[in-house]
Amino acid sequence: MARFARVALGASFAALACVAILGEQAQACGGGDFYGITELTTFDPKVLGDPINDGLYYDPFIAGYQGACEACANPVLADWNGYLKGAILPADWEKILYQATPSELTAIGQKLAGKAKAAPKGYEQSSIWKTPAAADKLRGAIEFVQLAREVEGFSSFEAYDADGNAKPTSAPPDDLLATARAGSKSKDRFLAQRYAFQAVRVLFYRRDWAGTVAFVDKNASLLASPSDDLAWNARLYAAGALSRDGKRARANLELARIHANYPPLSATAANDFRPAEETDWRASLKLAKTAREKTELWRLVGIKNDGVVAMQEILKLDPKSPLIGLLLVRELAHAESRGMGMWGEKPEPSELEAQKKAYATLEKIALDQIARGGDKPWLMELVAGHIAAKRGDLAAARAHLGRATAAKPGDAAVASQAKASLALALVANWKIGPAYEQELATTVAGLDPSFGRADSVRSAIRSQLAGIYAKAGQIVDAEFLLPGTVEPYDPYSSRPTGAKSKWDDVGFIQQMITRAGKTTTPFDKFVVGSSFTIAGLQQDLASRYLLDGDFATAAKGFAAVADPGRLGTDPFVMHVVDCHDCDHDKYANASWTRASLAKKLAELEKTAKGNGEAAAQAAMQLGSALYNISYHGNARTFLENTHQVTGDTSLALRWYKRAYELSKNRDFKARAAYYAAKAELGNLITQAETANPDGTGTPQPLVPTTWFAVLKQYNDTKYYRQVLRECGYFSDWLKH
């Protein structure tokens, strides 16, 4: 496992064995947006109240088990500070432990021994010199640190370190082993244990597997105290040596002991536990001397392989075993995550059937545990209540969840999970009306901010309610509960799947604005509280008015909304060949905003309704701005963060046509005809994408034949020649 240098250094002294004894830990790789385990499940495993084992919870998207190394590094300074208490300040010892160079350690040791007068640079004011009576103790500690530093240089089988630097590939020399063995005979129990552990490490990195195990066995009492952390790490090295020596049966037994009894190394032990063959597994069980050891083995099998079988076997050995809880919440997460694909797709019927069977099995285990007075009855009630909620049995869910919270008064995690499960049960039995709405809103509002499944619970509730309210004809509430409910969008075209979007209806948007302002009851607040904002809806409405051609009303609407900023382009700029990014680079500092553009369009409309060249010019500008705010133009940012993103250029085409008809200038008419052709082509593209959203059909040439034909009549104009020169599309059409 990868380790930071600081943690690695501390590991040498504290006996942290977070090394790749049995292989590097794999990290799951992936990209893109997908549903992780926290989105797929609504039961928070942290109700177990065991944060050090967070990395052992079920997560199919992570290879291995996380979180152990950071936790198991914690005892390092605590052990040393307890030993050196009164001899040196903790901060000063930490500096020596982690930062002192080999030469500085030597100099510090010499000064403590009275062989040097001056302290090394940077340590002149250290409290290590303030307690002369502790000099011998401190010198002994420094000597150990020097040994541990030397051993650390050999503590890997990798040829290169994390920075790519070559590492020693030779085995630790004999003198290191001799020094460690000699130190283990010290009368100072604290140092003796640490020297013994360094001997374990030296033997391990000399690849003396049998010697490593023999030393741990022979010196079991010496390695057992005073540091628990060091004792369990010694066992981990022994397990690694056993595994590498082919003695899988005992290796698995040792790993199971570590996993069950020392949480800081639980994840490491779980990663390394590999009962490769049935014979290995049976041999491990035979080596286990007590029912407790057998259940420890089965729990690790449950984490690595089949949790249900493991629970059943554990309960045969010990009906009240405390090892069931973690397996139960793991299997519950496994079962619940089968109800939805990680990319949001609907699960296969076979998966739903498997989920149903898994729920039934887990519910029986929980109920049996309750009946026999097994371990953690409150957890069994919580699990049974959650499964009843998922099944839609509101009465059973209420009863189980009530007993769970009564058994754990004041536990915020349990209370929140009970509320979450009850909310799911309410929705599964939903009846539209004040009673259900009030209870649901109050229940969800009571979730503790630290509850780890709050988002997934709210998402599940809102999704189910949206379908219920949509079916009941309450489409505004449905849309607030789950945006997109009233009108699912196609993922390829980013447009509604229906022929006409409800968001194209001014009346619908106004209803949404009215509903957003209604927050009388707790349920009202729940419905509108985490969805659309009034400001965002008002921007949607103003945008819709503009696309409908009501520029004056749109201008008033935008003026009343806090403008999010400039468009970053000039929406009146047109080219023969469009260049969206070029215009955003060139006109990045243009002053145009939504409000100022809408106001300008309202002014242009008044002029464009007149006659003559001025009206033609205004009509041309209107067409250009309307073309540019569509998906095809250079100012599509105008419609960002609204439901009005559009490829429809019909309104732009209408104004270009008017500009063409009003003008007497042939060059201007050629320009108007070409811009009209661009708008015509924009509509053809949009229509083709709508008819063939996944792009799998045979592409057909899309040609704006109506307005290309008009442009062809102006072949004597300067602008025609410019188009012919720049637009190969037009010149190709002419050839045919």
Tens of pLDDT, residue by residue over 11-67, are 333 332 322 222 222 223 333 457 889 999 999 999 998 776 778 899 888 777 765
The confidence band for 74, taking pLDDT boundaries of 50, 70 and 90, is low
Is residue 38 within 8 Å of 50, Cβ to Cβ? no
On the question of pLDDT at 190 being above 80, the answer is yes
Predicted pLDDT of residue 401:
98
Q: What is the 3-state secondary structure (H, E, C) of 572-614?
A: CCCCCCCCHHHHHHHCCCCCCCHHHHHHHHHHHHHHHCCCHHH
Predicted pLDDT of residue 736:
78
Residue 419 domain-assigned (yes or no):
no
On the question of pLDDT at 660 being above 70, the answer is yes
Burial 242-281 (b: 16+ CB within 10 A, else e): bbbbebbbbbbbbbbbbbbebbbbbbbbbbbbebeeeebb
Answer yes or no: do 501 and 608 share one domain. Answer: no
**Residue closest to 71 by CA, chosen among 266, 201, 255:** 266
Which residue range is the domain that position 638 belongs to?
580-735
Answer yes or no: do 520 and 616 share one domain. Answer: no
Predicted pLDDT of residue 495:
56
* Structural domains in the chain (count): 2
* Torsion 595-596-598-602 (CA) sign: positive
Highest mean pLDDT among 50-54, 341-345, 665-669: 665-669
Alpha helices (H) in 29-73, listed in sequence order: 37-40, 68-72
Residue 707 domain-assigned (yes or no):
yes
Residue 325 domain-assigned (yes or no):
no
For residue 200, what are the contacts with CB-CB under 8 A and spacing of at least 6? 212, 215, 216, 223, 234, 237, 238
| Nearest 10 degrees: Cα torsion 718, 722, 723, 726 | 170
Predicted pLDDT of residue 498:
58
On the question of pLDDT at 398 being above 50, the answer is yes
DSSP string, 367-423: HHHHHHT-S-HHHHHHHHHHHHHHHT-HHHHHHHHHHHHHHSTT-HHHHHHHHHHHH
SS3 content of the chain, % helix, strand, coil (to 5): 65, 0, 35
Residue 337 has a CB neighbour count (10 Å cut-off) of 23
Q: Which of residues 513, 531, 549 is at a domain's end?
A: 531
Answer yes or no: do 502 and 595 share one domain. Answer: no
Tell me the sheet residues that pair with 166.
160
Is residue 457 within 8 Å of 423, Cβ to Cβ? yes
Residue 722 domain-assigned (yes or no):
yes
* Torsion 584-588-592-594 (CA) sign: positive
Q: If you search the block for the tokens 């930490």, which residue do you land on?
A: 94
Q: What is the pLDDT of residues 467-510, one digit of tens each?
A: 999 999 999 999 999 998 887 665 545 555 556 789 999 999 99
Average pLDDT value for residue range 176-185: 97
Is residue 284 within 8 Å of 250, Cβ to Cβ? yes
Answer yes or no: do 598 and 668 share one domain. Answer: yes
Residue 587 domain-assigned (yes or no):
yes
Helix (H) / strand (E) element for 427: namely helix 412-428
Q: What is the pLDDT of residues 229-256, one digit of tens each?
A: 999 999 999 999 999 999 999 999 999 9
Answer yes or no: do 500 and 586 share one domain. Answer: no
Predicted pLDDT of residue 698:
52
User: Amino acid identity, residue 693?
Assistant: P
Instruction: Please give the DSSP secondary-structure letter assigned to residue 52.
Output: G
On the question of pLDDT at 72 being above 80, the answer is no
Q: Which of residues 500, 516, 531 is at a domain's end?
A: 531
Is residue 276 within 8 Å of 243, Cβ to Cβ? no
Residue 507, token pair as written in the block: 């009346």
Q: CA 183, 189, 191 angle in degrees (round to 5)? A: 45
Q: Note the Cα 711 to chain centre separation in Å.
A: 55
* Alpha-carbon span 527 to 706, nearest angstrom: 49
Average pLDDT value for residue range 501-524: 95
Instruction: Please give the DSSP secondary-structure letter assigned to residue 55.
Output: G
Residue 675, token pair as written in the block: 């811009």
Predicted pLDDT of residue 699:
60
* Alpha-carbon span 675 to 710, nearest angstrom: 11
Predicted pLDDT of residue 18:
28
Q: Which of residues 531, 550, 572 is at a domain's end?
A: 531
Is residue 54 within 8 Å of 67, Cβ to Cβ? yes
Residue 728 domain-assigned (yes or no):
yes
On the question of pLDDT at 181 being above 90, the answer is yes
Answer yes or no: do 651 and 720 share one domain. Answer: yes
Answer yes or no: do 731 and 584 share one domain. Answer: yes
* Torsion 88-91-96-101 (CA) sign: negative
Is residue 334 within 8 Å of 41, Cβ to Cβ? no
Q: What is the 3-state secondary structure (H, E, C) of 92-161?
A: HHHHHHHHCCHHHHHHHHHHHCCCCCCCCCCCCCCHHHCCHHHHHHHHHHHHHHHHHHHHHCCCCCCCEC
**Residue closest to 603 by CA, chosen among 554, 664, 551, 531:** 551
| Nearest 10 degrees: Cα torsion 76, 78, 80, 82 | -160
Residue 570 domain-assigned (yes or no):
no
Q: What is the pLDDT of residues 552-573, one digit of tens each?
A: 999 999 999 887 789 999 999 9
Is residue 536 within 8 Å of 498, Cβ to Cβ? no
Answer yes or no: do 681 and 586 share one domain. Answer: yes
HSE of 736 in the Cβ direction (CA atoms, 13 Å)?
A: 9
Answer yes or no: do 614 and 519 share one domain. Answer: no
Q: CA 446, 452, 455 angle in degrees (round to 5)? A: 70
DSSP string, 498-551: SSS-GGG-HHHHHHHHHHHT---SHHHHHHHTTS--HHHHHHHHHHHHHHTT-H
Does the pTM surpass 0.85? The reply is no
Answer yes or no: do 588 and 683 share one domain. Answer: yes
Tell me the sheet residues that pair with 656.
none
DSSP string, 322-376: TTHHHHHHHHHHHHHHTTS-TTSPPPPHHHHHHHHHHHHHHHHHHHHHHHHT-S-
Predicted pLDDT of residue 562:
80
Answer yes or no: do 613 and 730 share one domain. Answer: yes
Answer yes or no: do 600 and 676 share one domain. Answer: yes
Residue 138, token pair as written in the block: 């401190």
Residue 378 domain-assigned (yes or no):
no
The confidence band for 694, taking pLDDT boundaries of 50, 70 and 90, is low
